[in-house]
Amino acid sequence: MAVLQIVYAPHPIFKMKAEKVSSVDEDIKFLADSMLETIYFERAIGIGANMVGALKQIAVVDIQENGVKTPRVFINPEITWYSSETQKFEEASLSFPGIAAEITRPRAIKVKFLNYEGKEQEEEYEDFLASVIQHEIDYLNGKIFLDYLSKMKRDLLIKKMEKYLKAHPPHIHSSSCHH
């Protein structure tokens, strides 16, 4: 496993649809494990593979309720049902540092996916976890959380992020890293 380099906005990868995974082999498992290692290192709760430069339909999530690791790996995830009831949470992203926005999403979803072992699953999620999973699946479909905002609000947040990045350049992993 390895901590992977986060891709930062603006980058064209965020408008691209990730490719389906044809089989869950050792390379895919290594990528999923490395993505989990990356969210733990970055103190994040989820990432889509394109956020680390891989155009693969893989998302990992671990909200670590009560400090307990419960990693979830979603390969080729597809939301098959959305509740009509919605909820709002403040969302942010490792790829869009220094900004956050309140986003409204369905409160519950059903997701069909392949798990880490390559077995097809369909599970229902609700509340905060449902929003996190939707956020990550959006990345795999070429959509970002800012796309839910008005153009004016989105442009304002992008300017704020650019200012933040000038003041806080992101860490770029290299051979001199000690982690």
Task: Write down the catalytic residue from 78, 122, 124, 136.
Answer: 136
**DSSP symbols for 153-165:** HHHHHHHHHHHHH
- Mark whether 136 is an active-site residue: yes
Report the C-alpha gap between 167 and 159 in whole angstroms: 13
Among 76, 80, 23, 71, CA closest to 49: 76
Q: How far apart are CA 61 and CA 55, in angstroms?
A: 17
Check if the beta carbon of residue 56 is closer than 8 Å to that of residue 35.
no
Q: What residues are labeled active site?
A: 136
